[in-house]
Chains A and B, each alone.
Chain A
């Protein structure tokens, strides 16, 4: 478009809308009389409106309309047919127009000619050469050091670029993958699977909770979890809005109850809510008795034992002290878990084989009501009639003759929760006891007796304080005992739709690698069970030390090295790799460390199936709007070519799908019984699919644990299950007592939810806090950025040119800091500069810094990341003891004025003329 102000006179030629003269019915105003309108030119051009799904962030799946004029995308707006995001279209989405056409986008495969750590001296090569060299180098490395010496890296965002989560490891036969999942969503998915279902953490905000609890996140800044529109609707429509966050957040300003807790103390707060619910009998008693292992009996005096289980590729022996028939009777069934029936005053059992109680026959519930477009079955009752005890202590005779006492798990939970009564929790969290109690009661006291007021939308902040597994687990259990798992607006887990919305991710024709040798598996044994990531810190240790074995090469897709772990370790580690292949859209510190970089397509340039990853229940598509830039390729095509280069096919040979990219998309939508072409056309015409309607018996039904539609292998789409009632856990129950943690992390008191102090902080490391007295949180949502993305987009950068550190005015005054000053933030591991933002919405001893900053305008290879990338301050070995996730938020730092001022040469203002160099360039494509 011409660079002029749009006046009434010029708009006609710019938008080329026909027949517009007729629209001027307001001409009685006389305004048209004064102006002469040009007729619409004959060559006005072809305008299309293409329905698509945005990728400006990491998987919200906002439906959008893209206006394309003469093959050029000129406008992006929300698509209201996308009921999950309700027509939301954020700054990042609109700025995709500047990203797609950015002059700095990678156009061709390139190889480096200069050593790592300097400007790479990229020269153009062909795709064929890039793939051939990559295969040769990777095979050399694997021949010399073993298959596991190659690792993959993956971040987030392009949902069709997730091959490192499975396919790369399948192809190269290595379990070593450093993936953003470890510090984002992964702990939630993990504790979901430990508690009830894989990724059971997702809440169905679309179902409009009556009490909206927003915990440790800002979904109003459209990102993961939910869109702004859905969030604003949720808090506006709810009867009560409760916000849990150490700082005053954008939507948090509207909360009825705000709980500003000490960073990292979420599990203590969750246990406190459990205590309130237990003491006031607000928990869902029937659910707890019938569907959790709350009534199962813990016996201290036996050796842990169990039965064979399987998770993904791993077969293992479950070992638990929960009382089983095999503990009280020789030859007894280890899958029969004993409970105490208060009615008959005797032991009875639940079978983790059939999913049924002693004498019970499975009757799929048919009675219920319709809520929010789904069927809500009435809770089933015990038949035969029993009343499993949740509290107390009972005498039992073991098979060896010993008489012992056993305790229901729920009693143990109540005892644990009682360590965090509101008064006690106030000492830990800093939140006043009365407020804790009010919040818990408000959430847990049902407004509609049929179902709870809503689940809890717990987000990223719970995963990054170095105690992620138990923080998130406490929340899964809290939701469960309220009966809010798989109820309307409850936590329903991932949308079980018909579509695999991550093409190129999981390869159906190759086996998955064993995680027996995964790096970090010795320190974090659960990773061998979980099979989703290698420990990031351990990976960089292995790169640096060669222990437990050398890591020498890597492939990265959609990732950066500074969202996760210690940035300096990663940067120095990348320098040491013998070969590193990256596919990206940008020259970025990560890609500047590659040996070969490949140009990736932008979402406006590709087709991809889309489906709500969370509990929103939508199926849709990203539909190609414009031709790709130069030689940029779709990530899925990259995976296909990589597989073929190695002599493999992504799709099964002799199978029904052609061995093409379109075949891979056909494979992904096969569950809809359509091929990609038909699926896409229908979507284009009719809009987003409602999975509740598509699968009425599965996603369209709540309480699927009652109906036998919940159990299935871990996935983000519907797979055939065994049809048995209950959950996918080893006991088939919601596990308040985790038998998996009992098996893999024994003797560490991890079986029940537990509050663990963050590894660094006022209680864990008081001495450290003498020199580093402030607690720093970081990683919050920023309206115009998504992690390290969008720093080079003018519409984004001009609104937010530099990183801002929120600091309380009293603290700032003591440090001599004024609004806009540059200040150093320092930990024992590094220091960075960010600007001062005086913010009374944060506690005086807490600061909030921004994450993943780099400055694209600064020279290669560093692009200024060392100035401000906050994870240079991370203690690489301060980690969650179970899953290894880094302590990224809520650790000790010190702050002082930067006499140097701003880092030299950065764009620090919207008036910087260099922003104009980043204007869209439309040439270079078909």
Chain B
């Protein structure tokens, strides 16, 4: 089982509701985010193009709940662990705040909570999922661009979206961690070939 979120980037308009919905639901500390929305571009559509031959998309980035997470490999206490439904979580009672996982994550989605000294990140709203609800960033998405479910189940909503998307389905750069989250993008060029995500 691998719960994950698939985002249709042609419906994502960068409204930032997912970022704030997450903060509201998870009481994320001011100055930190579990989910941040990047603006990719605007870019020229091709070399030699000029305005208005431009394109742009928005990219919500949070923990990708990878199949073989880099964070878990480096965690000395086993605080970072992957549950049977595929969610990657941090057991705050075991976390010693060594920050090795923050360095290891290729997407910079973890941070140290300065008050509790424990590492935090997206939990895929496990507390909501346990109540058969969707993560807040999914239900709160204004564009209804996010689809949550089990990617190992071919009949789940996100699985079907991916199938329909065909070659237009992408993931963030994979350094062997195999991110579970997927993105669908049509009409614009996916620019996820390089990683330049901020790590702070």
Cβ contacts B110-132/A at 8 Å (1 or 0 each): 00010110101001001100111
Alpha-carbon gap, A839 to B55, bound state (A): 11
- Which of A216-270 touch B at CB < 8 Å? 220-222, 227-229, 231-233, 236, 248, 250-251, 253-254, 258, 260
B31, A783: Cβ atoms closer than 8 Å: no
- Which of B3-36 touch A at CB < 8 Å? 10-11, 13-17, 19-21, 23-27, 29-31
Alpha-carbon gap, A397 to B69, bound state (A): 90
Alpha-carbon gap, A11 to B43, bound state (A): 43
Cβ contacts A779-810/B at 8 Å (1 or 0 each): 00001100000000011101100000000100
Give the shortest distance, in Å, between B41 (CB) and chain A (any CB): 7
A131 located at the interface, meaning its Cβ lies under 8 Å from any Cβ of chain B in the complex: no
Give the shortest distance, in Å, between A31 (CB) and chain B (any CB): 5
B46 located at the interface, meaning its Cβ lies under 8 Å from any Cβ of chain A in the complex: no
B42, A89: Cβ atoms closer than 8 Å: no
Q: A220-B15, A783-B15, A795-B20 are in contact. Are A3 and B42 (CB under 8 A)?
A: no
A76, B24: Cβ atoms closer than 8 Å: yes
Most chain A beta carbons < 10 A, residue from B92, B123, B143: B143
Give the shortest distance, in Å, between B91 (CB) and chain A (any CB): 7
B30, A5: Cβ atoms closer than 8 Å: no
B145 located at the interface, meaning its Cβ lies under 8 Å from any Cβ of chain A in the complex: yes
Contact of B132 among A15, A23, A232 (CB under 8 A): A23
A839, B130: Cβ atoms closer than 8 Å: no
Contacts of B17 in A (CB 8 A): 89-91, 94, 228, 783
B24, A229: Cβ atoms closer than 8 Å: no
Stretch from B60-68, B81-89, B158-166, B167-175 at the A interface:
B81-89
Contacts of B44 in A (CB 8 A): 840
Q: A795-B20, A840-B42 are in contact. Are A5 and B55 (CB under 8 A)?
A: no
B20, A95: Cβ atoms closer than 8 Å: yes
Give the shortest distance, in Å, between B184 (CB) and chain A (any CB): 13
B194 located at the interface, meaning its Cβ lies under 8 Å from any Cβ of chain A in the complex: no
Give the shortest distance, in Å, between B63 (CB) and chain A (any CB): 13
- Which of B83-113 touch A at CB < 8 Å? 83-85, 89-92, 113
Contacts of B51 in A (CB 8 A): 260, 808, 840-844
Q: A20-B131, A220-B143, A841-B54 are in contact. Are A91 and B16 (CB under 8 A)?
A: yes
Stretch from A106-114, A157-165, A375-383, A911-919 at the B interface:
A911-919
Cβ contacts B129-152/A at 8 Å (1 or 0 each): 011100000011011110000000
Of all chain A residues, the one with the shortest Cβ separation from B136 is A77
A434 located at the interface, meaning its Cβ lies under 8 Å from any Cβ of chain B in the complex: no
Give the shortest distance, in Å, between A86 (CB) and chain B (any CB): 8
Contacts of A76 in B (CB 8 A): 24
Alpha-carbon gap, A626 to B30, bound state (A): 24
A17 located at the interface, meaning its Cβ lies under 8 Å from any Cβ of chain B in the complex: yes
Q: A7-B92, A254-B10 are in contact. Are A20 and B130 (CB under 8 A)?
A: yes
A814 located at the interface, meaning its Cβ lies under 8 Å from any Cβ of chain B in the complex: no
A258, B52: Cβ atoms closer than 8 Å: yes
A6 located at the interface, meaning its Cβ lies under 8 Å from any Cβ of chain B in the complex: yes
Q: A5-B113, A29-B83 are in contact. Are A915 and B91 (CB under 8 A)?
A: no
Cβ contacts A88-112/B at 8 Å (1 or 0 each): 1111001101000000000000000
A841, B42: Cβ atoms closer than 8 Å: yes
Contacts of A221 in B (CB 8 A): 13, 15
Q: A5-B113, A5-B118, A78-B140 are in contact. Are A250 and B14 (CB under 8 A)?
A: yes
B58 located at the interface, meaning its Cβ lies under 8 Å from any Cβ of chain A in the complex: yes
Alpha-carbon gap, A20 to B130, bound state (A): 8
| Interface size range on B against A | 35 or more
Of all chain A residues, the one with the shortest Cβ separation from B29 is A3
B24, A97: Cβ atoms closer than 8 Å: yes
Q: A222-B15, A229-B142 are in contact. Are A91 and B132 (CB under 8 A)?
A: no
Of all chain B residues, the one with the shortest Cβ separation from A254 is B10
B120, A5: Cβ atoms closer than 8 Å: yes
Contact of B20 among A88, A94, A231 (CB under 8 A): A94
A660 located at the interface, meaning its Cβ lies under 8 Å from any Cβ of chain B in the complex: no
A24, B130: Cβ atoms closer than 8 Å: yes
B20, A232: Cβ atoms closer than 8 Å: no
Cβ contacts A835-848/B at 8 Å (1 or 0 each): 00001111110000
Of all chain B residues, the one with the shortest Cβ separation from A26 is B85
Contact of B19 among A11, A14, A30, A799 (CB under 8 A): A799
Most chain B beta carbons < 10 A, residue from A8, A97, A919: A8
Alpha-carbon gap, A221 to B20, bound state (A): 14
Contacts of B130 in A (CB 8 A): 8, 11, 20, 23-24, 26
Give the shortest distance, in Å, between A426 (CB) and chain B (any CB): 14
A514 located at the interface, meaning its Cβ lies under 8 Å from any Cβ of chain B in the complex: no
Give the shortest distance, in Å, between B125 (CB) and chain A (any CB): 9
Contacts of B123 in A (CB 8 A): 6-7
Most chain A beta carbons < 10 A, residue from B54, B89, B142: B142
Give the shortest distance, in Å, between A231 (CB) and chain B (any CB): 8
Of all chain A residues, the one with the shortest Cβ separation from B11 is A232
B31, A915: Cβ atoms closer than 8 Å: yes
Cβ contacts A7-35/B at 8 Å (1 or 0 each): 11001001101001001101001110000
Alpha-carbon gap, A843 to B113, bound state (A): 42
B144, A248: Cβ atoms closer than 8 Å: no
A4 located at the interface, meaning its Cβ lies under 8 Å from any Cβ of chain B in the complex: yes
A75 located at the interface, meaning its Cβ lies under 8 Å from any Cβ of chain B in the complex: yes
Q: A30-B84, A253-B55, A260-B52 are in contact. Are A94 and B131 (CB under 8 A)?
A: no
A1 located at the interface, meaning its Cβ lies under 8 Å from any Cβ of chain B in the complex: yes
Contacts of B41 in A (CB 8 A): 840-841
Contacts of B30 in A (CB 8 A): 794, 798, 910, 915-916, 918-919
Contacts of B26 in A (CB 8 A): 5-6
Contacts of A222 in B (CB 8 A): 15, 142
Give the shortest distance, in Å, between B32 (CB) and chain A (any CB): 8
Give the shortest distance, in Å, between A85 (CB) and chain B (any CB): 9
A799, B16: Cβ atoms closer than 8 Å: yes
Give the shortest distance, in Å, between A254 (CB) and chain B (any CB): 6
Give the shortest distance, in Å, between A540 (CB) and chain B (any CB): 36
Contacts of B131 in A (CB 8 A): 17, 20, 23
B15, A90: Cβ atoms closer than 8 Å: yes
Alpha-carbon gap, A30 to B82, bound state (A): 12
Alpha-carbon gap, A916 to B114, bound state (A): 13
B38 located at the interface, meaning its Cβ lies under 8 Å from any Cβ of chain A in the complex: no
A841, B24: Cβ atoms closer than 8 Å: no
Of all chain B residues, the one with the shortest Cβ separation from A917 is B30
Alpha-carbon gap, A231 to B145, bound state (A): 13
Closest 5 CB pairs of A and B: A29-B84, A11-B127, A228-B142, A841-B42, A232-B143
Q: Could you list 14 examples of A-B contacts with CB < 8 Å?
A: A1-B27, A6-B26, A6-B123, A11-B130, A14-B127, A94-B21, A221-B13, A228-B143, A229-B144, A232-B144, A254-B10, A799-B19, A839-B42, A911-B31
Measured CB to CB, the residues of A under 8 A from B are: 1-8, 11, 14-15, 17, 20, 23-24, 26, 29-31, 75-78, 88-91, 94-95, 97, 220-222, 227-229, 231-233, 236, 248, 250-251, 253-254, 258, 260, 783-784, 794-796, 798-799, 808, 839-844, 910-912, 915-916, 918-919
Given contact pairs A77-B139, A232-B145, A254-B187, enumerate 15 new A-B contacts (beta carbons under 8 Å): A2-B27, A3-B115, A3-B116, A8-B126, A26-B85, A76-B24, A94-B20, A222-B15, A232-B11, A232-B144, A233-B144, A783-B17, A795-B23, A798-B31, A911-B31
Measured CB to CB, the residues of B under 8 A from A are: 1, 10-11, 13-17, 19-21, 23-27, 29-31, 41-44, 51-52, 54-58, 83-85, 89-92, 113, 115-116, 118, 120, 123, 126-127, 130-132, 139-140, 142-145, 187-188
